[in-house]
Structure 1
Amino acid sequence: MDHLAGDDFNDLMTKQPILVTGATGKTGSRVLTLLRTQGAPVRVASRAGEPRFDWLDRATWDSALDGVKAVYLVPVDGELLTRPFVERAVELGIERIVLLSGRGVEVPGYSGEASIAGATHIDGESAVRDSGVAWTILRPAWFAQNFSEGIFLDAILAGELRLPAGDGAVSFVDAGDIARVAVAALTEEGHDGQTYELSGTQALTIAQAVAEISGATGRDIRYVPLSPEDFVAELTGRGWAAAEAEDYAEAVSPIRRGMDSHLSDGVARALGRQPRDFTDYVKASVGAWRE
Structure 2
Amino acid sequence: MNENTKSNQKPAATTASTAPTAVRTVLVTGGTGKTGRRVAERLTALGHTARIGSRTAPIPFDWADDTTWDAALEGVSAAYLAYYPDLAFPGAVETVGAFARRAAKAGVGRLVLLSGRGEEAAQAAEAAVAEAGTGWTVVRCAWFDQNFSESFFLDPVLAGELVLPTGIAVEPFVDIDDIADVAAAALTEDGHDGEVYELTGPHLLSFADVAAELSAATGREIRFTAVSLEEYRAVLATVGLPGEFADLFSMVLDGRNAHLADGVRRALGRPPRDFADYARATAASGAWNV
Query: What range describes the TM-score normalised by the shorter chain of this pair?
Result: 0.7 to 0.9
The structural deviation recorded for 1:187 is 0.7
Please tell me whether residue 70 in structure 1 is matched to residue 87 in structure 2. no
The equivalent residue for 1:161 is: 162
Greater mean deviation of Cα atoms: 261-270 or 41-50: 41-50
Q: If the length of structure 1 is used for normalisation, what is the TM-score?
A: 0.87
Distance 1:3 1:234, change over 3 A: closer
Distance 2:134 2:229 in 1: 42
Question: 1:125 offset after TM fit, Å?
Answer: 1.0
Write out per-residue CA displacement over residues 125-155 of structure 1, whole angstroms, 9 at most, x where no aligned residue. Answer: 1211111221000110000111111111101
The amino acid that maps onto 1:59 is T
Give the Å deviation of 1:205: 0.6
- Do the aligned partners of residues 91 and 192 (structure 1) sit closer, same or farther apart at CA in structure 2, a change above 3 Å counting? same
**For 1:9, what is the secondary structure of its paired residue?**
coil
TM-aligned CA deviation for residue 239 of structure 1: 7.8
Task: Find 1:260's aligned residue among 257, 275, 279.
Answer: 257
Matched, 1:276 2:273: yes
Distance 1:240 1:183 in 2: 32
* Number of the residue aligned with 2:58: 50
Which residue does 1:94 correspond to in 2?
108
Residue 9 (structure 2) pairs with residue 38 (structure 1) = no
Which stretches of structure 1, 4 residues or more, deviate above 6 A after TM superposition?
Answer: none
Given that residues 169 and 255 in structure 1 are in contact (C-alpha distance below 8 angstroms), is that contact kept between their aligned partners in structure 2? Answer: no
Which residue of structure 2 aligns with residue 9 of structure 1?
20
Q: Is the 8 A contact 1:142 1:173 kept in 2?
A: yes
Conserved in 1, the CA contact under 8 Å of 2:118 and 2:252? no
Structure 2 counterpart of 1:274, which letter? P
Cα deviation, 1:149-171, whole Å, max 9, x if unaligned, reads 11111011011111111111110
In angstroms, what is the RMSD of aligned CA positions? 1.8
**C-alpha contact (below 8 Å) 1:82/1:123 kept by paired residues:** no
Find the counterpart in structure 2 of residue 222 from structure 1: 223
- Aligned-residue offset at 1:255: 5.5
Unaligned runs of 5+ in 2: 1-14
> Percent identity of the aligned residues?
48
Q: 1:122: Cα distance to partner?
A: 3.4
Aligned to 1:151: 152
The TM-score, its normalising length taken from structure 2, stands at 0.87
Q: Does 1:59 align with 2:70?
A: no
Which residue is equivalent to 1:180?
A: 181
Which runs of 5 or more residues in structure 1 are unaligned? 106-117
- Residues matched between the structures, number: 268
